[in-house]
Amino acid sequence: MSSPAVAAVILAAGGSTRFGAPKQLLPWQGRPLIAHVADTAWMAGLSPIVVVVGAEAEQVTPALAGRDVLVLRNYRWHEGMSVSLSLGVAALPSSVEAAVFLPVDQPLVDVRFLRSLVAYWQQRNAGIVIPVGREGQRGTPVLFARRFFAELAQLSGDIGGRVLFAQYPDERATMPVADPDILTDVDTPAAYEALLARQGMSLEWDALKGVICDMDGVLWRGETPLPGLHDFFALLETRRIPYVLATNNASKTPEQYVNKLAGMGIVTNTEHVLNSATAAADYLATQAAPGAPVYPIGGPGIREALRSHGFTLTEGDHADYVVVGWDRDLTWRKLATATLLIRNGAGFIAANPDRTFPMEDGLVPGNGAQVAALITATDVTPVMAGKPGPLLYERALARMGVAPEATLVIGDRLDTDILGGLRLGMPTALVLSGITQADELPASPIHPDVVFDDLAALVQAWQGRLQKSHDSPA
């Protein structure tokens, strides 16, 4: 399940005279271009992110404030791209297996594109992956595997990595790009104006074949249904859109959610509900022997999910796995038992990473806080079943049999619901009826595809679009 470490090297050292200001600082979706590109690389899961600045570095660098990036300064930027490439490559730790080299001036390059570049490399194990647009034209960003880093560091002049394309024809893989326009660069003020017309929020509603929806803060707040709840389920039924209601909360069982919805007048069944406890148990079923002994920390949600998958719950005398969910009766003894088991080689799985849980009187320790204690005590990082990790959404997609790019993720949290969807290449819709406030969006590095006040507004947009596409003769 672990994915290889792929870094990003953002090439932002070049000088530009045509824009009256550094090109790196042109506004894009409310932030400087260089910050937008760094955010996109981060959302795609690339790590570490190295940014090479040069021309106007004093002006450009502050635009990256607050972002987890390594900024390198290329004082010889006027000699061409090669100096930036070698600086960037030299800064990459030895754990990095490949790097994507992103020019700072391709603002339409998005998370989906970067994910597909990495996936293409993984499938083919090519040394160099080059995107190709119309008529086979080669574009950027390009991915290089580690075995080319030494040669990249030796380049000189302004040719960049292209010289290696010709030298190593057998190592090259060209990746067709469905929409070659996303490779367009901001070369001139006119090109920038033209690209601005394409920015902004959009979603291909008629391409949607499935929905994964969060519950708390989207369908209800506490015991109160949120606006649009009934219209939302009516729309899914009319359009025959399969859906999964997916939550990080592992403390309640799917039946409890079905009952809660029934109390609000929505008829559904447990096939449509997935919590992180079930995702953890599903994952475990792919790893462990049938009936394997498991030591659980957590409430009924975790215990029932494990039991229904046939695992033997133990008191900690022996276990192949430790599975940790939020436990309101947590004791030092339980943490000690889990620590001893993990130190003795038991697998370590956590239901969800939520650090806090909102109670009436404020935020209290959530499962992430319990898991942090165990990580500190064992030096072992658990497999995380919940969002933004991939397991929960992958289980949901498998249940529906729908491709990620055709499945809309709806949620109220940027760092779990939306980030998890973006990282799997899914279209994402944020609703502002829960955790996230509108004024947090400009500063956040996580950019959903669309934002609505609530589910009611989302349903209206979806219906509006379908109506229009239905009416149009094409």
- For residues 313 and 321, give the distance between their C-alpha atoms in angstroms, rounded to a whole number: 10
Shortest distance (Å) from residue 423 CB to Mg ion: 17
Phi (first) and psi of residue 451, to 5 degrees: -130, 135
Q: How far is CA 264 from the centre of its chain?
A: 32
Interface stretch with Mg ion, choices 166-174, 284-292, 404-412, 444-452 (CB under 5 A): 404-412
CB of 267 to Mg ion, least distance (A): 22
* Residue of 79, 110, 171, 216 interacting with Mg ion (CB under 5 A): 216
* Choice between 56 and 214, CB closer to Mg ion: 214
Restricting to residues 47-66, name those near Mg ion by CB under 5 A: none
* Beta strands 383-384 and 347-350, pairing class: parallel
Classified as helix, coil or strand, 130 is strand
Instruction: State both tokens at 18.
Output: 């045509």
Is 216 one of the catalytic residues? Answer: yes
Nearer to Mg ion, 221 or 468 (CB): 221
Q: Are residues 431 and 458 in contact, defined by beta-carbon separation less than 8 angstroms?
A: yes
- Cα distances (angstroms) measured from residue 234 to each of 81, 145, 219, 331, 341: 55, 48, 14, 45, 48
- What span, in angstroms and rounded, lies between the C-alpha atoms of 165 and 320? 48
State which residue, 405 or 415, has the beta carbon closest to Mg ion: 415
Separation between Cα atoms, residue 339 and residue 348, nearest integer Å: 10
How many residues make contact with Mg ion (CB under 5 A)?
5
The structure tokens listed for 306 are 């494990």
Locate 13 and state its tokens.
């050292």
Residues 388/415, Cβ–Cβ less than 8 Å: yes
By CB under 5 A, name the one of 107, 131, 217, 390 that touches Mg ion: 217
Which of 39, 105, 327, 412 lies at the binding interface for Mg ion (CB under 5 A)? 412
214 binds Mg ion (CB under 5 A): yes
Structure-token pair, residue 133: 């647009």
The answer to whether residue 171 forms part of the interface with Mg ion (CB under 5 A) is no
Minimum CB distance to Mg ion, residue 298 (Å): 19
Following DSSP, what letter does each residue of 38-96 receive, concatenated?
A: HHHHHHTT--SEEEEEBTBHHHHGGGGTTS--EEEE-TTGGG-HHHHHHHHHHTS-TT-
Binding part of the chain for Mg ion, among 44-52, 358-366, 393-401, 409-417 by CB under 5 A, reads 409-417
CB of 381 vs Mg ion, minimal distance in Å: 25
The pair of structure tokens assigned to 283 is 């994952």
CB of 436 to Mg ion, least distance (A): 9
Q: Which stretch binds Mg ion (CB under 5 A): 131-139, 151-159, 209-217, 258-266?
A: 209-217
Binding mask 413-442 for Mg ion (x = CB under 5 A): ---------------------x--------
Q: Rounded to 5, what percent of the chain is helix, strand, coil? A: 40, 20, 40
Task: Determine which one of 214, 282, 320, 354 is catalytic.
Answer: 214
Regarding 304 and contact with Mg ion (CB under 5 A), the answer is no
Name the token pair of 398.
């498998």
Cα 440 to the center of its chain, rounded Å:
18
Shortest Cβ 230–Mg ion spacing (Å): 19
282 is an interface residue for Mg ion by CB under 5 A:
no
Which lies closer to Mg ion via its Cβ, residue 97 or residue 415?
415
Closest residue to bound Mg ion by CB: 217
For residue 440, the minimal CB distance to Mg ion (Å) is 15
Candidates 115-123, 142-150, 335-343, 407-415 — which segment interacts with Mg ion by CB under 5 A?
407-415
> Per CB under 5 A, does 327 bind Mg ion?
no
E strand intervals along 214-369? 220-221, 224-225, 243-247, 273-275, 293-297, 312-313, 321-324, 347-350, 356-359, 362-365
The catalytic residue positions are 214, 216
| Residues of this chain that bind Mg ion (CB under 5 A) | 214, 216-217, 412, 434
